[in-house]
A and B are shown apart, each in its own frame.
Chain A
Amino acid sequence: MRLAYIFHPYDPTLVIVSVSVAMLAAYVSLELAGRIRATTGGVRFAWLAAGGVSLGGGIWSMHFIGMLALVLPVPVTYDVRLTVLSFVIPIILGLAGLYVVFWHDQSWPRLISGGVMIGVGIIAMHYVGMAAIRMPAMASYEPFWVTVSVVIALTASTIAVWLPYFSLSAVIRFCGSSLGFAIAGMHYTSVAGYICTPTKDGSIPLGGLSPHGLAPWVAGVSLVLLWTILVLAAYNRRVEQFVREADVQAALHNAGSELARVARLFMVGELTALIAHEINQPLGAIVTSANAGRLWLARSPPNIDEAQQLLYRIASDADRASQVIARIRTFLRRDAAESGPIDINDMIRQVLALVRNEIEGHKTTVRTELAVALPPVIGDKVQLEQVVLNLVLNAIEAMAEVSERPRELLIRSQLDAWGAILVSVDDTGTGLDPTALDKIFNTLFTTKPKGIGLGLSISRSIIEAHGGHLWASPGSPHGASFHFSLPTRTVSAA
């Protein structure tokens, strides 16, 4: 009686389809489950549900495609209730397994128990599915192949859920195939030990789903799987693009503000001596005045007039010192994107006051031709001040070597034909190399021995952020001219 039809022929096309469905389901479900950890909130349930349904549906589809591929010697129908049960079981166990593995942080107990759950889901589906078969034959199983199929399902499932922790997409693809192997391997191993002994009467079983009736369902589930993977791929691309764009944006933003900060620090370095002098000057005057006042009051009779004058002077010097500090503070402030109306002429005067010592130290004369009644510019005062400061310091430096002609710095402000404010800084310095004229605004380009080539490039970005232009031209007959224009009705983009 034994081994009546132990070897069953297969339809090779359907076998390939069934294995493909298994792989597909495995890949999709693991891909979906992998997103659980990457997200928060209710979306996690959606990913888990999608993963579980894909896995369970995939297992089920694979099984019945595999059954269609199997050519049995007797006609076959399927018991509806058991078929439905075989659909539900892998979904529930798949959900459970994915939940255990992916919902919380990774741990070995979770990995193994989750893998086992999925493995049990595959096994249970298979044997319930087999139990749904109605045919005029006796079915039995070779215990050896049953054991092998169980081992394959459990091991491959566990390996499959463990592998994504290498978190390389190539590896995920492989582990998808590992879970696919668990599903398909279990099925065909088990079927290899399936013994179908036709009964004598050979009557056709009544009721139940015919294989043909089952086919649309199987096809439907497979289609859903395919559709899911397409959606997933599209979603992935979107997310990656979004992430990449966000990364690039963030990097650009960081680089920009970092650059500005570094440039500022360098300028601060150059200005440190200047600032120390600016602060020590009023402080020295205050201390001396106070001591003088003390001495005047200690005389007999005390000289009240002198002391009073000294007190006035102390107050005004203290005010001077605090103004210097305020200037330095605004200069050093990193997040200085304040927008407001700015009187350009005032700003120019303030910058000149800041570099007064530098100008005098270099024996430079300053002329200003500031147009009256200029409309205000809207923008970041600190940033624009930095531009003017940079241009003025550059001009002073360019004239440091000049001795055969007067060192003259000319700052002009005017309203141009288009209603924009035009500021020019002219010097009688060494001038610009015409071939370098285009390059001077490049980052890290410098003609100065100690320069780092950031000042002008930062200045240009600041002016452009305010909707204006910064350019240079040769001076006549000597030196260089730097100009920037600023629209008078622009809200700073900086």
Chain B
Amino acid sequence: MTEEKPVVVIVEDDPSMRAALDSLLRSVGLRTELFDSAEAFLSSRRPDAPGCIVLDLRLPGKSGLRLQTDLAVADIDLPIIFISGHADIPMTVRAMKAGAVEFLPKPFRDQDILDAIESALQRDRIRRADHRSVVMLQSRFDTLTGREQQVMHLVVAGKLNKQIAADLSVSEITVKAHRGRVMRKMEAHSIADLVRMADKLGNAGNRRSGHG
């Protein structure tokens, strides 16, 4: 499981600040991508690597807060660190409620932004790993036949073979066979393992529908 080098996206209209941030992040070995507006960032191709956004609150055109909303709607889950020259409390609250990692008033200490970036990248790594495992489980789940999926749902719901057989009007032997195939195809080592997988798939499904 090789991890690509993380990318920090900087969206900042002030050229001086943008360049300074770029230099600071490169000095600690981070990859950066620079944009002077929200629009420029949205029209760019995003690399498939863990990342985060350092976002100026006040931007020409679409503001930082607006970009945050748009990204959430588009289901782009990059963690956001806000920076601002004149943050007021309502704006800060709004940004944090919408899931920002950190809100740094300018001028900020280098360690503060580096820490914030580190935690944002960590968050993104976990999210990406999570996402990858869900994708993997989903593909395993997709190899199950309809009957096997039914059996899996009933198994993780805690039903006994006898009950499942009764529910599906099949013999207990058949249930056992389905169950064995489910365990093998899902690569589950125990019932508990299978329950966890089902949980993960269920959550991912819920989250997607929640965002839709």
Chain A residues packing against B (C-beta within 8 Å): 273, 276-289, 291-296, 299, 303, 306, 309-310, 313, 316-317, 320, 357, 360-361, 363
Q: Does B193 contact A (CB under 8 A)?
A: no
Evaluate contact between B86 and A292: CB separation under 8 angstroms: no
Q: By CB atoms of chain B within 10 A, which of A289, A292, A306, A310 has the most?
A: A292
Evaluate contact between A277 and B24: CB separation under 8 angstroms: no
Evaluate contact between A292 and B23: CB separation under 8 angstroms: yes
A233 to B188, CA, bound (A): 117
Q: How far is the CB of B179 from chain A (nearest CB, A)?
A: 57
- Closest residue of chain B to A320 (Cβ to Cβ) is B16
Evaluate contact between B109 and A291: CB separation under 8 angstroms: yes
Interface size on B, residues (CB 8 A): 25
**Given A291-B109, A313-B19, is A284 in contact with B85 using a C-beta cutoff of 8 Å?**
yes
User: What are 9 contact pairs spanning A and B, CB under 8 A?
Assistant: A276-B86, A277-B58, A278-B85, A285-B16, A288-B23, A294-B110, A295-B110, A299-B27, A363-B61
**Given A277-B58, A360-B60, is A286 in contact with B27 using a C-beta cutoff of 8 Å?**
no
- Closest residue of chain A to B37 (Cβ to Cβ) is A360
**Given A287-B107, A291-B109, A360-B60, is A281 in contact with B17 using a C-beta cutoff of 8 Å?**
yes
Residues 88-102 of chain B, each 1 if its beta carbon lies under 8 Å from chain A, else 0: 000000000000000
Evaluate contact between B28 and A295: CB separation under 8 angstroms: yes
Q: How far is the CB of B123 from chain A (nearest CB, A)?
A: 22
Evaluate contact between A296 and B107: CB separation under 8 angstroms: no
A310 to B23, CA, bound (A): 8
Choose from A282, A296, A316, A317 the contact partner of B23 (Cβ within 8 Å): A296
Q: Does B118 contact A (CB under 8 A)?
A: no
Evaluate contact between A277 and B23: CB separation under 8 angstroms: no
Chain A residues with CB under 8 A of B24: 288-289, 291-292, 295
A185 to B60, CA, bound (A): 93
A280 to B16, CA, bound (A): 12
A80 to B113, CA, bound (A): 110
Chain B residues with CB under 8 A of A284: 17, 20, 83, 85, 106-108
Chain A residues with CB under 8 A of B110: 287-288, 291-292, 294-295
A291 to B113, CA, bound (A): 11
Q: Does B156 contact A (CB under 8 A)?
A: no
Chain B residues with CB under 8 A of A320: 16
**Given A291-B109, A292-B110, is A313 in contact with B27 using a C-beta cutoff of 8 Å?**
no
A277 to B13, CA, bound (A): 13
Chain A residues with CB under 8 A of B13: 360
**Given A286-B107, A287-B107, A288-B107, is A281 in contact with B85 using a C-beta cutoff of 8 Å?**
yes
A294 to B24, CA, bound (A): 9
Within 8 A of A (CB), among B43-86: 58, 60-61, 83, 85-86
Evaluate contact between A316 and B16: CB separation under 8 angstroms: yes
A289 to B60, CA, bound (A): 23
- Closest residue of chain B to A296 (Cβ to Cβ) is B27
Evaluate contact between B106 and A306: CB separation under 8 angstroms: no
A87 to B105, CA, bound (A): 91
Chain A residues with CB under 8 A of B108: 284, 287-288
